[in-house]
Chain A
Amino acid sequence: MNASPNAVEVAPGTHWIGALDPSLRDFDIILKTANGTTYNSYCVRGDDGVAIIDTVKASHADEFFTRLEQVARYDEISTIVLNHLEPDHSGALPELMRRAPQAKLYISAKAHLMLKALVKTDDLRFNVVETGDRVELGGRTLHFFSTPFLHWPDTQCTLVEEQGILFSGDVFGCHFCDPRLFNDKVGDFRFSFEYYYQHIMRPFREHVLEALELLEPLALKTIAPAHGPILRDAPQSYLQRYKQLAAPLLHNEVGANDKSLLVFYISSYGNTALMAQAVAEGAETEDGVRVSLYDLQASGGLPFVDLIEEADGIAIGSPTINGDAVKPVWDLLSSLAVIKVRDKLGASFGSYGWSGEAINMIEDRLRGLKLRVPVKGVRAKLIPNEEEMQRCRDLGKQLAQHLTGNLQRRVISMSELLSQES
């Protein structure tokens, strides 16, 4: 293995000039990195100018500049492209702009405010690019592709047309540090590739599919992501793998027009379980909704995240213990950041002994996750009586009607709304 800070040729005139971070074990708090990561930056030389694609984390700037200086002088740099402005890619940007003040900076439209927040100056000069825009370097053409939300609003990809090299930013990247750099040379990084997708790209799978439509027709010879191995061997297979990963995880047996409602509960004395049963019963009276009932007591949490990703609505039942919903409920709710839940239907219910705060707290969390919570949850003091059980059935039915769209639309007054609150 060669870990000396040398620039590495990717193709004639195009070099990797990034940095290795082999000792990193946690990335952005949320990711484990068993053998570190790389911050990939690239230099593309044309007859009329040199482009730098992305930079590195500020702590690794020296390594980046050492490699850069091996393949280009600062006064030759005509172009800087940032495909993504997270600090691990923009950290060395201010210093690079200071050393190469003549270089023009190219970013996506949505990168502007992030750039301002990172560079901390109002004197910012940059060019906004979108799909179809090109920059000529003389014999090398940079072609930009807007691929937003992979995994930030600002993300884009840049193709060197003549070489078929796609600088993809975080897409197709992974946290895997191996100085041999290329996918046909490094150790087995497949788990890192999958893990990265599941934790970084999964919430944005609709955007992944949109990006793939843009990128699939390209005759790619190399995918050069911003982290991990450079994919020069069978690059198309990584696009195909992303397509598989972005497809629904489970075969959905619900009819094409049917909606799926998941009722989760956890119960200390069986009261919340009774309520959950009633919510499910109520929902089942509505045609076109498939209702599933799950006890969170038996969960490890994770399989339910897969189910929720595919569901149209979730109702969560929790007892209130010491003024709070119970931990398995929060464990479930805190694990939803890896999937898209926005605009799904949400609801809450539960039995309580003293005060019953859990229901409102769960509703607030569901709203915080941008679910719709149109139906007020049901609380029952200890053992639910028949009236409370009926309210649970009504809750289930209303949720089902919200899902099918069969809900009678009506105008209610603000005072009526306020009285429902109390």
Chain B
Amino acid sequence: MPKANVTFEKLGVTISVPAGTRLIEISEKVGASITYGCREGECGTCIMKIVSGMEHMSERSVLEDKVLQENMAGSSHRLACQAQVLGGDITVKA
């Protein structure tokens, strides 16, 4: 199965995960993210900055785009509950 390496910059830990894993599944387990919020891409609680490797992330959905815009998040941000890692090396600011 293809793998992706997700590095949590502030925590100083890299997790090797199967491609297709959502960021929130990893961030919760490593203790980088709060564990509540809607988890459905609506509340914006889980906005996360992608430091590098955005090209290895799934495309933004229309809903995710809308929520990110409403929260004034820039192009380097994603909703952890929506964004999937597809492979390669990704670094997040968390």
Interface, chain A (partner B; CB < 8 A): 110, 113, 153, 343, 363-364, 367-368, 370, 372-376, 402, 405, 407, 409-414, 417-418, 421
Contacts and interface: CB of A to CB of B under 8 A. Distances in A.
Given A372-B10, A374-B30, A417 B15 contact: yes
A372 B21 contact: no
B15 A413 contact: yes
The number of chain B residues touching the other chain, given as a range, is 20 to 34
A364 B26 CA distance: 15
A413 B70 CA distance: 34
B33 interface: yes
22 contacts: A153-B72, A343-B10, A363-B31, A367-B34, A368-B34, A368-B36, A372-B10, A374-B8, A374-B13, A374-B30, A374-B32, A402-B11, A407-B12, A409-B14, A411-B5, A411-B15, A411-B16, A412-B16, A414-B15, A417-B26, A417-B29, A418-B29
A363 B33 CA distance: 11
A407 B11 CA distance: 10
In the complex, the 9 A-B pairs of residues with the closest C-beta atoms, listed nearest first:
A373-B31, A374-B11, A411-B14, A414-B17, A367-B34, A417-B29, A413-B16, A368-B34, A407-B12
B8 to A, nearest CB: 8
A402 B35 CA distance: 22
B31 A372 contact: yes
Nearest to A412: B15
B14 to A, nearest CB: 4
Contacts of A343: 10
Nearest to A153: B72
Nearest to A411: B14
Contacts of B36: 364, 368
B39 to A, nearest CB: 15
A407 B21 CA distance: 26
A113 B70 contact: yes
A402 B12 contact: yes
A410 B16 contact: no
Contacts of A153: 72
B1 to A, nearest CB: 11
Nearest to B3: A413
B72 A372 contact: no
A153 B35 CA distance: 24
Interface string B15-26: 111100100001
Nearest to A405: B12
B72 to A, nearest CB: 7
B44 to A, nearest CB: 11
Given A364-B34, A412-B15, 7 more contacts: A370-B34, A372-B32, A374-B12, A376-B31, A409-B12, A417-B30, A421-B29
A306 to B, nearest CB: 24
A414 B30 CA distance: 10
